[in-house]
Every structure is written in C-alpha cells, then in structure tokens.
Amino acid sequence: MASQREIRRRITSVRNIKQITRAMQFVAASKLKRAQDATLASRPYAAKIDEVLADLAAVLGADDHPLLAKREGGARLLVLLTSDRGLAGSLSTNVIRRASEEITAESGELKVVTVGRKGHSAMRRAHVPIAATFDGFGERPTFSSVIPLARLLTDDFIAGTYSSIDLIYPHFVSTLVQRPVIERLLPVEPAEDTEGIPGNQFIFEPNPAEVLRQLLPRYVATRVYQAALELTASFYSAQMVAMKNATENAQELIEDLTLTYNKVRQANITREMIEIATGASAF
C-alpha cells in the first residue's frame, strides 16, 4: 500500500489537473456560443443558395457549366475536415472512422485532401494518398480563409483530375451530438427538397447562364465554409463536454484518494499505538 506522502502527492497532482480541465471547460463554453451562433446563422444562407441553384438547374443543364458535369470513372477525392487539437473526446476519431469506411468501400482510385492535423496524421499512418494538406481554419473561420481550398477543388474538378469530390466533416446537431456526415460537393447536385417550383421562382439577369457562371464557384466556397463552421462548433461542444467529464472524474478520484489516505493514516496511528502499548508492557 502507498505511503501517506505518496497519496498526498497524488491528490495534489489530481487537484491541479482538475483546475486545468475546469478552466478548459469554461474557455470552450465561452467559445462555443460564438461558434454555434455563426453556424446557425449561416445555414439559411446555404439553404437559399441551394434553392437558387435548383431553380437554375431546372432551366440549364450540365453542358452549361463544367461544375455540373457528371463523369464516369476517374479518381474520387475526399476532403476530410478534422480539428488541429485534441482533448475533444471522440470527435476527430468518429470523423476519421467514417472516412476510413468510405475509403475501404471505394474500389476505384481515391485521394484525400486533409484539413486539420488530426486527419492528416491518421491518413498518413494509413498510407492513404494525400493530394493536399491544409491547416485548420482557426477559432473563427472566415469566408476568405476557405477560398484557397475551394479554388483548388474547383480547378482540379474542371481540369478533369477528379470525377467527384466529397466533404467529410462533423455536423453540429447539439451540444451533446456531433454526427460525422459525407456530402457530395462536386459535381454540383442541387438539393431536391427546396421549396417552390424550380424554374419559376426567380427572374435571372442578365441571363441564367451568366448567373450560373458567377454563382457556382461561390456555391462551392459556401459549402466548404459551412463545413468549417460546423467543425468549429462541433469541436468546442465536444471539448466542453470532455473537459466537464474529466473534471468530474478528477473530483471522484480525489475523493477516493482522500478516503484511502484516511485509511492509511488511521492504520498508521493504530500501529503506532500498538507499538507504544507493547513497549510499555515490556517494562
């Protein structure tokens, strides 16, 4: 059994860890509110672009823009969005597992673009071909920060490098739920559940083809930006919950160690009293 000094040292160490995890919990909670507001505020904008694009697609066809073209065969590209940091429970692990399932099921040629160090490290260990690597978008993703990635994806698809491009990222559902999802990015497939009658909702000036030419690159960037916002909100949600659980576990461990310390202390006192009584009776 450990000595009193060793147990006291362990209690001090766990108490220090508890202070750190509690501070990280509060920091994540403060950042979560901002990230959650940004994510929820951007969803209506992304939904409206889907609606406009559905209306355009009803008027125009795949021949009007290369981003609408569906190709047979060719390589497939997965864009894997994960966090740069850990201490967020199983968030990155779940997204990487979802990507691994997709990679295993793919029979043709496949490459990956990683965003975030967690995903990059996992794909490198698994020897998956990595086409490009981007750092995370930080605590406050901006639309301009995703433009280089969106431009790379758009240019490669137009050049015929890939037949399809998919996004894999954690979708923010609630503070307790972040669900890994995979969504087709290119070729652009307008949502089918848009409201109204496609082709009759809007009047396009100067003409539908020109609007489509201007809209599609922005649509791709918007989809990537929305995924980055979802990732940020999911990360701080998962980190807040993970640090809360770690703080509670640390408190339980402190209580168990304190109980053990009291038992050891009582046993030492009892042993000393017996030794004193035995020594007194010897005289």
* Number of domains, the chain: 1
Q: Distance between CA 112 and CA 130 in Å, rounded?
A: 5
Look at residue 84 and tell me if it is in a domain. yes
CA 244 to chain centre: 19
pLDDT value at position 160? 86
pTM (whole model) above 0.75: yes
- CATH number, domain with residue 71: 3.40.1380.10
Domain that holds residue 168: 22-241
Q: Distance between CA 185 and CA 169 in Å, rounded?
A: 12
Look at residue 2 and tell me if it is in a domain. no
* 112 — pLDDT class (breaks 50, 70, 90): very high
Look at residue 99 and tell me if it is in a domain. yes
Q: Distance between CA 219 and CA 153 in Å, rounded?
A: 12
pLDDT > 90 in the chain, percent: 50
Look at residue 16 and tell me if it is in a domain. no
Please say if the pLDDT value at position 197 is more than 60.
no
pLDDT averaged over every residue in the chain: 86
- Name the most confidently modeled range: 44-53, 93-102, 204-213: 93-102
Instruction: Find the angle CA(156)-CA(130)-CA(85) to the nearest 5 degrees.
Output: 115
Look at residue 130 and tell me if it is in a domain. yes
pLDDT value at position 26? 93
Please say if the pLDDT value at position 196 is more than 60.
no
Please say if the pLDDT value at position 2 is more than 50.
yes
Q: Distance between CA 255 and CA 182 in Å, rounded?
A: 44
Mean of pLDDT values over 197-209 = 65
